Amino acid sequence: MATVLVTGGSRGIGKATAILLARHGYKVVINYLRNKQAADEVVNTIRATGGEALAIKADIADELQVLAMFAEIDNAFGAVTALVNNAGILFQQSTIENLTADRINRVLATNVTGYFLCCREAVKRMAYRHGGEGGSIVNVSSAAARLGSPGEYVDYAASKGAIDTLTTGLSLEVAAQGIRVNCVRPGFIYTDMHATGGEAGRVDRVKFSLPMQRGGQPEEVAQAIVWLLSSKASYVTGSFIDLAGGK
Ligand code: NAD
């Protein structure tokens, strides 16, 4: 049975993805930052339907914590064959004049360095040259990578732009090692990210500016992630799926 790590898997898009992956037969590791109770609830939801799941606390921006998390997965479930790089942060809307160095560094540490570290550890376990059997990685970027989020979150948008470039470069670097690397770019999705980071009610405020006139649900993003990870997408790498209601 394949082992998958979903970073930031205790809520939102990560939670929906973890639950759907379990239904597809994966052993699921739910990484979380602080909320053990929420992570345990996802684990219990999966176990209640006969699936296998485990919650591991780790800050993906911290290299030692990432190393410890992957080692724990090796022991508990066997090496990962799939990775969903999903954990991300967003701060309040701000023009560039008010972006502090601390904020910029925190956004880049999680949204970029964290993704790199998890990709690195996954590749070490998946690549043929390391004795692995190949694998699949999906990076969760954002429509912001294309649109830039001017006057709101250019720091966040730029961090997601880096993830798009990471997806392209890494997909080429590891294609011959049996590893596929793809990306989803959600638009406005109903999750707690907007309330804790950006602006509560944001999806409803902007939804009529979207061609489809509505925000998206985490489960709609999860469907694309699960497909990209699966063997149904066996000839797909370096690709991007936009889940943004047409914008
Ligand atoms: P969310 O805030 O509900 O979930 C993000 C999760 O990541 C949280 O559980 C949080 O605790 C975790 N996290 C944050 N920093 C972490 C760290 N350093 N280490 C480990 N975990 C950490 O938000 P979401 O909307 O579900 O976001 C999931 C992904 O989707 C993010 O990468 C986000 O940028 C992206 N995204 C979301 C939207 C949207 O509209 N909701 C749009 C585009 C992209």
User: Closest by alpha carbon to 43, among 54, 32, 35?
Assistant: 54
pLDDT, tens only, 171-188:
999 999 999 999 999 999
Q: Which ligand 1 atom lies nearest to the CA of residue 10?
A: 9
Cα separation of 47 and 57, whole Å? 18
Q: Which ligand 1 atom lies nearest to the CA of residue 221?
A: 30
Does pLDDT of 128 surpass 90?
Answer: yes
Cα separation of 179 and 135, whole Å? 5
Q: Which residues are tagged catalytic?
A: 156
Cα separation of 103 and 90, whole Å? 10
SS3 159: helix
CB-ligand 1 contact for 245 (6 Å cutoff): no
Which of 113-127, 191-205, 207-221 has the lowest average pLDDT? 191-205
Does pLDDT of 58 surpass 90?
Answer: yes
CB-ligand 1 contact for 88 (6 Å cutoff): yes
Cα separation of 136 and 21, whole Å? 13
Does pLDDT of 198 surpass 90?
Answer: no
pLDDT of residue 1: 81
CB-ligand 1 contact for 6 (6 Å cutoff): no
Q: What token pair was written down for 63?
A: 């290299």
- What is the per-residue DSSP string for 171-238? HHHHGGGTEEEEEEEE-SB-STHHHHTS-TTHHHHHGGGSTTSSPBPHHHHHHHHHHHHSGGGTT--S
Q: Whose CA is nearest to atom 6 of ligand 1?
A: 8
Type of residue at 76:
A
Alpha carbons within 13 A on the beta-carbon side of 132: 26
Type of residue at 66:
V
**ipTM score of complex:** 0.99
**Radius of gyration, CA atoms only, the chain:** 17
Q: Which ligand 1 atom lies nearest to the CA of residue 203?
A: 40
CATH superfamily of 3-243: NAD(P)-binding Rossmann-like Domain (3.40.50.720)
**pLDDT band, residue 196 (cuts 50/70/90):** confident
Q: Give me the mean pLDDT over the 58-87 stretch.
A: 98
pLDDT of residue 89: 97
Residue of 84, 108, 191 to mutate, ligand 1, most atoms within 8 A of C-beta: 191
Handedness of CA 31, 34, 35, 37 (dihedral sign): positive
Confidence (pTM): 0.98
Cα separation of 139 and 194, whole Å? 20
CB-ligand 1 contact for 167 (6 Å cutoff): no
Which of 65-74, 118-127, 132-141, 187-196 has the lowest average pLDDT? 187-196
